[in-house]
Structures are given as C-alpha cells and as structure tokens.
C-alpha cells in the first residue's frame, strides 16, 4: 500500500501543476471560463490528496477506505479535467460521458472519505 500512497502523492503534484497551467491558460485565452473550472477541480483535489493519503497511512480502522477515497478522487479529477480541457482546447471529448464519469468518481471518493472518517470515529483512531 505504501507505494500506491507514494504514487498518489506524486499524482497530486502533477494535478497541481496541471491546475496552475489551466488557470494560466484561462487567464490568457478568450473563452477560458471552462478552464477555470478545470483549474479549480485540479488544485482542490491536488491539495486534498496528501491529506487523504496521510490518513490512509495512519488509520488502523479505515486505512483501505482512505486509500479508496484518494484513488477515486484522483482518478475522477484527472478524468473530468482532461475531458473538459480537451473539449475547450480541441473541440472534442476524450470519450462520451468522460466528464460525468469523472465527476461521479470524485463524488464517490468524497463519500468514501466520509465513511472512512466514521470508521475511524467508531472503531478508534489510529
């Protein structure tokens, strides 16, 4: 599990870098409103991932749940943002329903984090 958590933290850096790039592009191109949403999603989830992975490392009760939450939010943010960015910049989607699938994965990830927090609360942390 440690390598997966380390990979997720590396992924957080990549999401953050892409978020800053999306924010810069949104500021400098006409019609960049969609890229502002991409930047927001990427930066928020990039900042959240280290916290989710830290909880996965520390939690005895919900460690796997925290890992699942981190994976779902990371993959969801990447999928959603890549689809919206590609549509904005190229006029084509990654594949049908890519953005809704990514958004659903992010929502699921945050719900899993809620369950993991409850598991820690009721089973004892750490």
Q: What is the chain's alpha carbon radius of gyration, rounded to the nearest angstrom?
A: 16
- Nearest Cα neighbor of 114 from 59, 65, 42, 72 is 65
The per-residue pLDDT for 121 is 86
Domain count, the chain: 1
Instruction: Indicate the length of the chain as a whole number.
Output: 126
Q: Is pLDDT at 125 greater than 80 in this prediction?
A: no
Q: b vs e for 72-81, b when ≥16 Cβ sit within 10 Å of the residue's Cβ?
A: bbbbbbbbbb
> For 77-99, what is each residue's pLDDT tens digit?
999 999 999 999 999 999 999 99
The DSSP output letter for 59 is: -
What pTM did the predictor assign?
A: 0.91
Query: What Cα–Cα distance (Å) separates residue 33 from each residue in 6, 24, 38, 104, 119?
Result: 33, 11, 9, 21, 39
Calculate mean pLDDT across residues 35-53: 97
Domain hosting residue 35, numbered range:
2-123
Q: Is pLDDT at 126 greater than 70 in this prediction?
A: no
Is the alpha carbon torsion for 111, 38, 36, 94 positive or negative?
negative
């Amino acid at each position: 599990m440690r390598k997966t958590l380390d990979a997720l933290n590396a992924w957080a850096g990549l999401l953050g870098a892409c978020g800053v790039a999306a924010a810069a592009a949104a500021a400098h191109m006409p019609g960049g409103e969609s890229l502002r949403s991409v930047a927001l999603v990427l930066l928020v989830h990039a900042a959240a991932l280290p916290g989710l992975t830290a909880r996965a490392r520390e939690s005895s009760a919900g460690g796997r749940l925290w890992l699942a939450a981190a994976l779902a939010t990371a993959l969801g943010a990447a999928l959603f943002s890549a689809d919206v960015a590609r549509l904005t910049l190229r006029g084509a989607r990654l594949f049908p329903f890519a953005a809704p699938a990514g958004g659903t994965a992010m929502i699921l990830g945050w719900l899993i984090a809620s369950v993991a927090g409850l598991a820690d609360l009721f089973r004892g942390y750490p």
